[in-house]
């Protein structure tokens, strides 16, 4: 139902304004960033432009990354003061414990932080969260929460010190599911669950087009190429999308905050590494394993030289020194300044491994010049997940908003299909078809188009939410804004953590765990070629281990 580009819809289009930056409090919330990579810098930027908080410290073991983020967002040209720069989260933890002891002795010490953005590698999330949780600070962790279900449950326990009697966290917690916080998706959820513009949702088809060269950068040559060292691509790339579906179909709408979630009944999945393997390698490439020594490099669209150095995509030749170039060579700006940018990039791309290279050495680093058909990647480049819901009406005595006109109150049987695909022109520009009892919606990354079955002669209604910069259609800024607002209300307005979590973060800790659990259940279904009964699986794998 996507409208054609020449469809005259301008007279039926709502163009929505940008969200307003919250006013600064007298004592703005103060935050530490752990991990000064692209995500850490992204949240630092979002905090400075879209929130009422401030970044006051950074913990990062790589000196130039730490100094670059600090100079840009914290201490400027003056250099760091005490309590602003740490070599890692353990360094910060030790300093903070000592700071508290000094404060007890009556010494003058730097002001404490209120919260932390955790932006380290996925496999490090558990140790950082569990390590910092006893400090009693508010936490935002980049997605995914962890790379195994066991680690997710371990984090769940660490953030619930009142178990088994109390399952309410004592501090605000947020996860980097930024799709929830873009103006586009916030409006989409309102239209579906509050305004009920297409009646009761019957099914959703949601696609994440990763992008043909983007997939090779991150999932063939880069950090997330092997399940054994990180996690399945459904988790590392698409937990955003599974969470989005759960947010739309499982979580209660904002106007029914006491309503229990509508839990999925089953999940199944299929997928594999279909393309990026040796069976697809062009014969003319021969035995080459690196783009710089390949006889067909100039004609190969996956050429590392073309992607990272050429002008076609987002390479150095296009004037880009940010992602993905700075992932290959983090010090690219310094190299460009010294006149050695291309030379340094080529040297990095020339790195390769052979059959005699220890697997531990191969796993420990990325190989951005490696032939995409000869790499050691094993994660799916194509996957489909199907989720079903049974009818689960609320008890007759359970109150529901008057606006929910359908007798099932949004809890009827429904289906969701998610498709992650690597071979696409679109790069992470998701698109979704949603089918309801009274109409249907087509949503891409910039518009939401609604067709009402009851008035087929009318033009479809088109909504164009504000497209913010900074990543994920404004989701990065939106998440930072909402998390920091929650912390601000707890710190400066005396709001209870549970109320701030619900009103501003809009996602409970249990919801966060549930959407991750759905990914792990889907992977179990895929690898075992079976349909998983999700409520039973959750009861055994999550609740059954939570209280052990």
pLDDT tens per residue across span 341-395: 999 999 999 999 998 999 899 988 999 999 999 999 999 999 999 999 999 987 7
pLDDT category of residue 254 using cuts at 50, 70 and 90: confident
With 60 as the cut, is the pLDDT of residue 6 above it?
A: no
Asked whether residue 431 falls in the same domain as residue 302, the answer is no
SS (H, E, C) 226-250: CCCCCCCHHHHCCHHHHHHHHHHHC
Percentage above 70 pLDDT, the chain: 93
CB neighbours of 495 closer than 8 A, spacing ≥ 6? 489, 503
pLDDT tens readout for residues 421-463:
999 999 989 999 999 999 999 999 889 999 999 988 889 999 9
Boundaries of domain holding 382: 200-275+378-400+407-436+508-546
Above 90 in pLDDT, residue 316?
A: yes
Q: Tell me, what's the pLDDT at 470?
A: 52
Indicate which CATH number applies to the domain containing 393: 3.30.360.10
Tell me what pLDDT residue 407 has. Answer: 67
pLDDT at residue 473 tops 70 = no
21 within some domain: no
H helices of 250-354, where? 304-308, 325-328, 332-337, 341-349
- Alpha-carbon distance of 87 to 85, in angstroms, equals 7
On whether residue 303 sits in a domain, the answer given is yes
Query: Same domain, yes or no, for 105 and 35?
Result: yes
289 lies in the same domain as 269: no
CB atoms within 10 A of CB 87: 13
Per-residue confidence (pLDDT) for residue 536, from 0 to 100: 97
Whether residue 225 contacts residue 377, with contact meaning beta carbons closer than 8 Å, is answered with: yes
Q: Find the helix or strand (DSSP H, E) in which 204 lies.
A: strand 201-209
pLDDT, residue 232, reads 97
Residue 122 confidence (pLDDT) above 50: yes
Task: Tell me, yes or no, whether 417 and 542 share the same domain.
Answer: yes
Measured CA to CA, the distance from residue 398 to residue 385 in angstroms comes to: 32
CA distances from residue 485 to 16, 29, 208 in whole angstroms, order as listed = 22, 9, 30
List, for residues 58-107, the tens digit of each pLDDT value: 999 999 999 999 999 999 999 999 999 999 999 999 999 999 999 999 99
Please indicate, yes or no, if residue 323 is contained in any of the structural domains. Answer: yes
pLDDT tier, 8 (very low <50, low <70, confident <90, very high otherwise): very low
Residues 247, 135 share a domain: no
Query: Cα separation of 27 and 23, whole Å?
Result: 11
Q: Which residue has the higher pLDDT, 502 or 470?
A: 502
Same domain, yes or no: 311 and 343: yes
Contact 393, 408 (CB under 8 A): yes
Residue 11 is predicted with a pLDDT of: 57
User: What is the predicted pLDDT for the residue at 457?
Assistant: 84
Q: Average pLDDT of the chain?
A: 91
Residue 107, both tokens? 């010494």
Least-confidence region, from 161-165, 315-319, 410-414:
161-165
Predicted confidence band of residue 20 (pLDDT cuts 50, 70, 90): confident
- 386 and 262 within one domain: yes
With a cut of 50, say whether residue 45 has pLDDT above it: yes
Same domain flag for 396 and 540: yes
Q: Are 299 and 394 in the same domain?
A: no
Is residue 10 assigned to a domain? no
Q: Is residue 265 located within the same domain as residue 284?
A: no
Q: At what angle do helices 509-528 and 239-249 cross, to 10 degrees?
A: 120
Residues 324 and 427 in one domain: no
More confident residue, 405 or 97: 97
Provide the domain count of the chain.
3
pLDDT at 7: 41
Highest mean pLDDT among 226-230, 393-397, 472-476: 226-230
**For the ranges 14-28, 97-111, 148-162, 178-192, which has the lowest average pLDDT?**
14-28
Phi-psi region of 31 (alpha: psi -120 to 50; beta: other; left: phi over 0): beta
Q: Are residues 65 and 204 in the same domain?
A: no
74, 43 contact by CB (below 8 A): no
- Tell me, yes or no, whether 150 lies in a domain: yes
| pLDDT (average), residues 39-49 | 94
- Under the banding of pLDDT at 50, 70 and 90, the label for residue 119 is very high
């Amino acid at each position: 139902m996507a409208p054609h580009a020449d469809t005259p819809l301008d007279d039926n289009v709502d163009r929505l304004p940008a969200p307003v930056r919250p006013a600064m409090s007298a004592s703005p919330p103060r935050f530490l960033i752990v991990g000064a990579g692209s995500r850490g810098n992204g949240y630092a930027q979002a905090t400075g432009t879209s929130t009422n908080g401030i970044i006051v410290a950074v913990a990062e073991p790589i000196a130039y990354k730490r100094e670059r983020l600090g100079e840009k967002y914290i201490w400027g040209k003056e250099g760091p003061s005490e309590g602003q720069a740490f070599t890692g989260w353990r360094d910060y933890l030790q300093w903070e414990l000592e700071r508290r002891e000094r404060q007890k002795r009556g010494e003058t010490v730097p002001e404490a932080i209120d919260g932390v953005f955790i932006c380290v590698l996925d496999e490090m999330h558990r140790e950082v969260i569990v390590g910092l949780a006893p400090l009693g600070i508010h936490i935002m962790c980049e997605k995914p929460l962890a790379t195994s279900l066991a680690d997710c449950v371990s984090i769940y326990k660490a953030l619930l010190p009142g178990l088994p009697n109390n399952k309410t966290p004592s501090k605000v917690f947020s996860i980097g599911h930024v799709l929830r916080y873009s103006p586009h998706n916030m409006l989409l959820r309102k239209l579906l669950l509050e305004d009920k513009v297409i009646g009761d949702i019957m099914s959703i088809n949601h696609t994440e087009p990763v992008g043909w060269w983007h997939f090779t950068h991150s999932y063939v040559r880069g950090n997330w190429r092997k399940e054994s060292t990180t996690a399945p691509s459904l988790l590392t790339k698409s937990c955003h999308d599974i969470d989005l579906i759960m947010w739309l179909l499982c979580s209660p709408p904002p106007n029914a905050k006491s309503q229990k979630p509508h839990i999925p009944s089953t999940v199944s999945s299929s997928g594999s590494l279909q393309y990026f393997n040796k069976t697809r390698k062009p014969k003319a490439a021969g035995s080459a394993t690196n783009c710089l020594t390949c006889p067909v490099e100039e004609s190969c669209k996956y050429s590392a030289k073309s992607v990272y150095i050429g002008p076609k995509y987002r390479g150095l030749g296009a004037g880009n020194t940010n992602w993905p170039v700075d992932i290959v060579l983090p010090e690219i700006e310094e190299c460009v300044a010294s006149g050695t940018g291309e030379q340094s990039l080529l040297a990095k791309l020339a790195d390769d491994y052979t059959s005699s290279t220890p697997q531990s050495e191969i796993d420990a680093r990325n190989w951005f010049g490696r032939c995409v058909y000869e790499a050691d990647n094993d994660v799916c480049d194509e996957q489909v997940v199907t989720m079903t819901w049974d009818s689960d009406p609320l008890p007759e005595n359970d109150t529901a908003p008057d606006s929910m006109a359908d007798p099932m109150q949004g809890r009827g049987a429904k289906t969701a299909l998610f498709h992650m695909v690597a071979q696409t022109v679109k790069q992470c520009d998701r698109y979704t078809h949603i089918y309801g009892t009274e109409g249907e919606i087509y949503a891409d990354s910039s518009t939401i188009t609604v067709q009402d079955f009851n008035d087929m002669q009318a033009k479809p209604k088109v909504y164009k939410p504000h497209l913010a910069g900074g990543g994920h259609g404004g989701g990065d800024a939106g998440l930072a804004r909402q998390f920091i607002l929650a912390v601000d209300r707890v710190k400066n307005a005396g709001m209870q953590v549970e109320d701030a979590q619900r009103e501003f973060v809009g996602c409970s800790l249990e919801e966060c765990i549930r959407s991750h659990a759905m990914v792990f259940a889907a992977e179990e279904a895929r690898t075992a070629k079976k349909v998983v009964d999700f409520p039973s699986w959750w009861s055994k794998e999550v609740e059954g281990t939570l209280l052990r």
